[in-house]
Structure 1
Amino acid sequence: MKIGVFTDTYYPDISGVTVSIENFVSMFRKKGNKVYIFAPKVKGYKDKDTDVYRVTSLKLISSEPEVRLPLLLPYKTLQKMFSLDLDLIHAHGNGPFSLLGYQMARIKNIPYILTFHTIHTKYTHYFFDGKIISPKMVAGGLRVFANLCDGVVVPSEKMKEELTSYGFRGQVKVIPSFINLKKFESLEKGYLHKKLNIPEGSPILISVGRLGKEKNFNFLIKAFKKVTKINSNAYLVIVGQGPEKNNLKKLTKSLGIEKRVHLTGKLAIKTMPLAYVDADIFVFASDTETQGICVLEAAASGLPLVVVEDPAFKNAVIDGVNGFATLLDEKIFAQKIALLLRDISLRNKLGENSKKIANENFKPEKLALEMLSFYKEIIKKHKTKKRILRRIINKASFINFLKIAERVNKLLGSTRW
């Protein structure tokens, strides 16, 4: 197959969407498919992948990541895009670049699939401070967009239920994103301890994500404050960047734990496996995820997981088996962390189970083949629709021809055609 992937965010921006696209595309190509990626042009960044087409764009909204409007300039870029022979377009991101993919699919008369990665109704505070665009407006827009698609994909049952709550009644295919599990194998510890000057032997709790209100890092920091009262040697490392960074720093200072909490900013994607493997426990308090790629990465790294109870983590976190899924309660959350810090044997056991669960529930080849199978299904349905539409048009044309012929014959004086 020849597949066009349109995305509103891609490298050098690192996100769950970026990781998902890279891994699916890599597997598709291994199976002999040709894949082209269309993404916003980023000043100073050059792709090693020659099949990535960068489109000039204008920043619409300053968020993390930014929302950019494709300008389709210069003309040569547009010409190249539309000259490609594609069987299907798969878009990610639900923004302007996804809409560009939809327009291209309709012009080329090929199927259009859209993956809904994000619960955008939880992110309206990024758009004019939430004063203009309401969650209800966003839900309505996404429902309309979903109805335009030939196929809709989501990474979890949670996101499927979310779309249903918007009023979408079409078919939704649940296919989780996956990671390259091999990147998290056989790595040496020591990266974070050395980088952040953390004393050897001091346990590290790690969390990863965009520093935004929706990720609930303030909850995490407050829970960690309670942990320090039980274990004064532990450190909390939060990897990521975002608008809440200064507020989180102020919070750590007000709680008197600024020396125990490290906000590293963004780390290079190649160093992330080293960061995970040097930690002892993964902690995560976001309840706005649709899957949580970082949770899967932590599991693949062999870490026990402490997260808030959320259906998004259903197949990655099994309570009591490879970690704990708790209520959104700082005291309970802190108690589970303290238990793992205290019981090294339990910590190791749950960490081993994490690896097994990641390898069993998120097999790259299985999930990639499932997506390719869905592509073929949608292409087949689209061809059937085209045949039916052609028959309707042909039949209508024939009927019109007969009517016109009858009128002509009447004008010529014929009593019957």
Structure 2
Amino acid sequence: MLFLQTQAELAGAQEISRLLGQELSRRQLTGVPEYETHHLFLYRKTDGCDHFPNVHFAAPRRPESLGECLAFARNFFSIVRKIKPDTMLTFQHYGNVLGALVGRAMGIPYIVANQVSSPATVNRFVGLADRILGTLGFYDVITVNSHATWNHFQSYARSYRKRLVHIPHGFAQKTTSLSKEKARDCFDLPKDVTIMGTVARLHPLKRIDLAISTLPHVPNLHLAIAGQGPHRECLEALAHTLGVADRVHFAGEVNPEQIGTFLACLDVFAFPTAAETFGLAAVEAAQAGVPVIANDLPVLREVLQVERSACALFVDAENTDKFVSCIELLLADKALYDRLSASGRELAERYSLNLMVSEYTKIIIKSNAEKGAPRRSSAFKTSS
């Protein structure tokens, strides 16, 4: 079983594929021989995925020159040929399109495309290619992680839509037994202050600048940011311009095992993102008991609720005054704070890891019934 993704870094899609690979490799599926799982990234962006079992990188960094592109293509085909997957699960728009084209050309029996990229991030030509490939049946199954994402594809051809399966993300609970004081020691964060935090790629789409912009209006509030990305220098410059650089703390890329400790440092979680297909980071924060203030997106209203009751505050994050008012309300109203903290913890049941893995298990069992049992063993037996 091969999990194919675009870039190797610690982000939501990579965490989902890591968990799936980990759990599926542990399970004995009725009527299905034991699976060997591999992870293949088109290129390595950070060392965050180096610890994945049976991990491979087609390129050490994003290919730019003609020579690098040719080396990437050669390595990519060579790795897939050696693994000889019976099932390929592709993630993100480039992973889906490239995986479908190469997978069918190489005779991979079953391809599951996972639509985890927000439409706002998809190049229109890649989006068109995805639409054509899905319509022509290059994907056997197309998973979506929310009803909002499902709705995006309802204008597509019937042959595309009939392959859609809704599987909400599941996650490993991000909790810790450490006290807030001990957790802050782990990230060198100040102890006797109020800390708002976020977990995200440092990318303009995540709009962390909007969270930084609230700090001049809320004295003594600090912001802790877990993540890496190309927008860091811009965010640091903004913090200096606003005179709040001493209250903005960059924790860098944080391993999944340490996210629970990072969340334990926080008093409030901010999620001002412009677009999501699910919003895994916000769901994990809410489940850890950290009250969430999220940008008012339909998909976030969908996933951040329990029994039709919101377990987060929603705001137009571009409106700094309203964003600030939400922060101040949450910090001043203990009853509201406690209610959101308690209801957020209930998301663990709604988005259980076992439920997600069970849904993928059904897909794999069906694939074996339709296409036959795995053909052969991989030439790879250890991590690459």
Range of TM-score over shorter length: 0.7 to 0.9
Check the 8 A contact 2:3/2:90 in 1, yes or no: yes
Q: What is the TM-score when the length of structure 1 is the normalising length?
A: 0.75
Question: Aligned with 1:177: secondary structure?
Answer: coil
RMSD between aligned alpha carbons?
Answer: 3.2
Aligned mate of 2:201, from 210, 221, 225: 210
Structure 2's unaligned 5+ residue stretches are 29-33, 373-384
Aligned mate of 2:356, from 367, 389, 403: 367
The structure with higher relative contact order (CA 8 Å, sep 6+) is 2
Aligned mate of 2:166, from 171, 174, 182: 174
Counterpart of 2:204 in structure 1: which amino acid? K
State the Cα deviation string for residues 275-331 of structure 1 (Å, max 9, x = none). 101111111100211111211221221111110111222454239742211234222
Q: After the TM superposition, which residues 189-228 of structure 1 pair with which residues of structure 2 at under 5 Å, given as runs?
A: 189-191=180-182, 193-194=184-185, 198-226=189-217, 228=218
Check the 8 A contact 1:69/1:96 in 2, yes or no: no
Q: 1:109 to 1:268 in 2, by over 3 A?
A: closer
Q: After the TM superposition, which residues 388-399 of structure 1 pair with which residues of structure 2 at under 5 Å, given as runs?
A: none
Quote the residue 1:399 is aligned against. Answer: none
The range that moved more, 94-103 or 302-311, is 94-103
Structure 1's unaligned 5+ residue stretches are 125-134, 384-417
Check the 8 A contact 2:274/2:295 in 1, yes or no: yes
Instruction: State percent identity of aligned pairs.
Output: 18
In 2, distance between residues paired with 1:35 and 1:296?
30
Quote the residue 1:51 is aligned against. Answer: 54
Question: Aligned with 1:71: secondary structure?
Answer: helix
Q: 1:241 to 1:77 in 2, by over 3 A?
A: closer
Name the larger-Rg structure: 1
Counterpart of 1:81 in structure 2: which amino acid? I
Deviation at 1:200, TM superposition (A): 2.6
Aligned mate of 1:259, from 246, 249, 263: 246
Question: Aligned with 1:302: secondary structure?
Answer: coil
Counterpart of 2:359 in structure 1: which amino acid? E
In 2, distance between residues paired with 1:68 and 1:373?
38
Deviation at 1:73, TM superposition (A): 3.6
Q: After the TM superposition, which residues 8-407 of structure 1 pair with which residues of structure 2 at under 5 Å, given as runs?
A: 8-10=6-8, 13-32=9-28, 33-40=34-41, 42=44, 51-56=54-59, 59-60=62-63, 70-73=72-75, 77=79, 79-82=81-84, 86=86, 88-95=87-94, 99-100=98-99, 102-108=101-107, 110-119=109-118, 121-123=119-121, 135-147=123-135, 148-165=138-155, 169-181=161-173, 183-191=174-182, 193-194=184-185, 198-226=189-217, 228=218, 232-318=219-305, 321-328=310-317, 329-356=319-346, 358-380=347-369
Q: Tell me the number of residue pairs that the alignment of Structure 1 and Structure 2 aligns.
A: 355
State the Cα deviation string for residues 88-125 of structure 1 (Å, max 9, x = none). 22111232586246523553351211101102x5236x
State the Cα deviation string for residues 141-172 of structure 1 (Å, max 9, x = none). 22123332111111112222223456654431
State the Cα deviation string for residues 212-251 of structure 1 (Å, max 9, x = none). 111111222223333x1xxx23211122122221211222
Quote the residue 2:378 is aligned against. Answer: none
Question: Aligned with 2:93: secondary structure?
Answer: coil
Q: What is the TM-score when the length of structure 2 is the normalising length?
A: 0.81
In 1, distance between residues paired with 2:273 and 2:45?
31
